[in-house]
Amino acid sequence: MMTASRRIIVIDDDPGIVDYLIDMLRQVNYSAAGFTDTADALNAIENESFDLVISDVIMPGMRGLELMAAIHRKRPEQLVLLITAFGSIDLAMQSMRAGACDFLTKPFRIEELYTAVARALEDRQMRRTAVKIGFTDDKNSATGIFITQSPGMQRLVSMATRAAAVNSTVLLTGESGTGKSAVARWIHDNSPNHSGPFIAVNCAALPHSLVESELFGVRKGAFTDASKDRPGLFSQADSGTLFLDEIAELPLEIQPKLLQALETGKVRALGDTKETRVSIRLIAATHQPLEQRIHDRLFRFDLYHRLNVISLEVPPLRERKEDLDALTKTLIDTVCLRLGKQGPVNISVEVLRWIRAYHWPGNVRELANTLERAIVLADHDTLLLEDLAQASKLPVNDTSFFELAMMQGWSLEDINQAYIRHVLAMTGGNKIQAARILGLDRSTLYRKLG
């Protein structure tokens, strides 16, 4: 087994354990350092960069949660893998809720250590990839949808990066729920006018009779209810970005005025005799083929070409299978943060497999909403298939689980593993209780989990 050299720090009050773990890690090409004193370890973590911290839960002078908090005060994104002695599983679970990425129970086989380390470092690499490609959470929806390893999304990232650097008009296309609004926001945040306002409006949500006044403004007395001047969205977005979502729904009679505003950089409020100059970057989005709208005489050909300077298509979620695991975990973290839910919510192996198999016609929006409902309704820290069944009308019952197993080509061993992890999740990670329910001795359970 060979690995790229990653830096790992080992913390344990037993020098023998520290030396043993360092030796085992170095045998598979990890760069490892060790400490028996928490103060020295924390100082090293603050001043040096480590890919992973492996620490005993109970250390002299500083117990589990205190050590976790101290590490994350210095390095908020630091991954920590905890080692716990028999009888301290509850403390380890509390530490995981406080931010640990995984834990191992003594005694453990060295293969279990290697597996846990590899899993933690793989998760870290996924998060680094998301940062490296330039996308993080959208400021409004905070969905984190751009964590990606899929070719289609990586092409979008590359093109969006180039689009952000200039002030050209952008047309975003793609199915509903794919994240077009998040792409628009990211382009603005990384554009030369990022310090200006970002004004977003859904054209389909505007009352037909008010579209013109909403977009271009209204002068006092222009109509009966116009008791004062009111700036339109173009003026509000001056020196920034105006995002027109569902542009295909813009009334045909308003389209010439929008075209004129884009070509001249000037707008005239309803009831005004003068034009006002505005400097904006327009981003439009649609899930409908505008070519068909043009054919149906519902959208102007000249406006389409004025909007279609830079065209970016956001791929559907079914074409992003490589991203589903990391995206699911990021969405769960985001939901928990927004809801103020203490500690992380884990997700069972069978749920992840089901998520990979489902086609998600509602795309990222459907996945995010399903996960949020499941998190709100669940009364435990690990999402199970029954939580998804309770949260949605999706076919996630026992029958569909076995249908999924057949569709995915699972072996009997795969199904056994899914059930074992399901029982382990239901017992809060208590392997002794899980082994009792499964009718296994602890050594057999450890072997099956390994």
Instruction: Read off the CATH number of the domain in which 382 is found.
Output: 1.10.8.60
Output the pLDDT for position 144.
53
Same domain (yes/no): 291, 349: no
In a domain, 206, yes or no: yes
Residue where one domain finishes, among candidates 315, 350, 368: 315
d(CA 111, CA 448): 12
Range 93-99, long-range pairs (CB < 8 A, 24+ positions): 93/381, 93/428, 93/429, 94/64, 94/65, 95/57, 95/64, 95/65, 95/68, 96/343, 96/344, 96/346, 96/429, 97/342, 97/343, 97/344, 97/381, 98/65, 98/68, 98/69, 98/343, 99/68, 99/72, 99/344
Q: Alpha carbon of 54 to those of 79, 126, 154, 269, 380: distances in Å?
A: 9, 20, 33, 63, 26
Same domain, 310 and 166: yes
Which domain-ending residue is among 87, 104, 132? 132
On whether residue 140 sits in a domain, the answer given is: no
Q: Is the pLDDT of residue 222 over 90?
A: no
The CATH number that applies at residue 309 is 3.40.50.300
Q: What is the CA radius of gyration of the chain?
A: 27
Q: Are residues 327 and 421 in the same domain?
A: yes
Whether 1 maps to a domain, the answer reads no
Looking at the DSSP bridge assignments, the partners of residue 230 are 218
Q: In this structure, are 127 and 200 located in the same domain?
A: no
141 falls in which pLDDT band (50, 70, 90)? Answer: very low
Residue 70 corresponds to which amino acid?
A: A
Q: Verify that 164 and 305 share a domain, yes or no.
A: yes
Higher pLDDT, 83 or 25: 25
Mean pLDDT for the stretch of residues 339-347: 74
pTM over 0.75: no
CA-wise closest residue to 232 among 272, 172, 283: 272
Q: Would you say 203 and 254 are in contact if contact means Cβ atoms under 8 Å apart?
A: no
CA dist 187 and 160 (Å) reads 7
Same domain assignment for residues 414 and 271? no
* Residue 331 and residue 381 in one domain: yes
User: How many whole angstroms separate alpha carbon 269 and alpha carbon 261?
Assistant: 11
In degrees, rounded to 5, the angle at the alpha carbon of residue 91 between the alpha carbons of residues 89 and 93 is 70
Q: Please give the biggest Cα pair distance in the chain.
A: 86
Query: Which amino acid, one-letter code, is at 137?
Result: D
State the alpha helices, DSSP H only, in 265-411.
290-295, 301-307, 324-339, 349-357, 363-377, 385-391, 398-408
* Residues of the domain holding 328: 319-449
Q: Which of 298, 315, 332 is the last residue of a domain?
A: 315
- pLDDT of 63 reads 64
- Does residue 24 belong to any structural domain of this protein? yes
Tokens of 130: 């998301």
Q: Are residues 328 and 300 in the same domain?
A: no
What was the pLDDT predicted at 82?
Answer: 83
Is the same domain home to 308 and 337?
no
Residue 237 lies in a domain: yes
Q: What is the pLDDT of residue 315?
A: 93
Q: Which residues of 90-124 are buried (b: 16+ CB within 10 A; e: fewer)?
A: ebbbbbbbbbbbbbbbeebeeebbbbbbeebbebb
In this predicted model, what pLDDT tens digit does every residue of 165-193 receive, in sequence order? Answer: 888 999 999 998 899 999 999 999 889 88
* Same-domain status, 337 and 261: no
Q: 146 in a domain, yes or no?
A: no
Give the range among 32-36, 281-285, 313-317, 359-363 with minimum mean pLDDT.
359-363
In a domain, 441, yes or no: yes
Using 50, 70 and 90 to split pLDDT, how confident is the model at 221? Answer: low
User: Is a pLDDT exceeding 50 seen at residue 351?
Assistant: yes
126 and 93 together in one domain: yes
DSSP per residue over 156-220, as a string? HHHHHHHHHTS---EEEE--TTS-HHHHHHHHHHTSTTTTS-EEEEEGGGS-GGGHHHHHHEE-T
CATH number of the domain residue 19 falls in: 3.40.50.2300
d(CA 129, CA 248): 34
User: pLDDT tens digits, residue range 369-392?
Assistant: 889 888 888 887 788 877 877 776
Long-range contacts of 438-442 (CB under 8 A, 24+ apart): none
Q: Contact, 174 vs 225, CB < 8 A?
A: no
Number of domains in the chain: 3
Burial 275-289 (b: 16+ CB within 10 A, else e): ebebebbbbbbbbee
Pairwise CA distance, residues 398 & 25, whole Å: 41
Does residue 144 lie in a domain region?
no
* Spatial separation of the C-alpha atoms in residues 321 and 390, rounded to whole Å: 24
Q: Tell me the CA end-to-end span of the chain in Å, nearest whole number.
A: 16
Query: Same structural domain for residues 166 and 300?
Result: yes
Q: Is 348 within 8 Å of 425 (Cβ atoms)?
A: yes
Segment 113-137 mean pLDDT: 59
Q: At what angle do helices 180-189 and 151-164 cross, to 10 degrees?
A: 40
Tell me if residue 9 falls in helix, strand or coil: strand
Question: Of 6, 36, 2, 4, which Cα lies nearest the Cα of 20?
Answer: 36
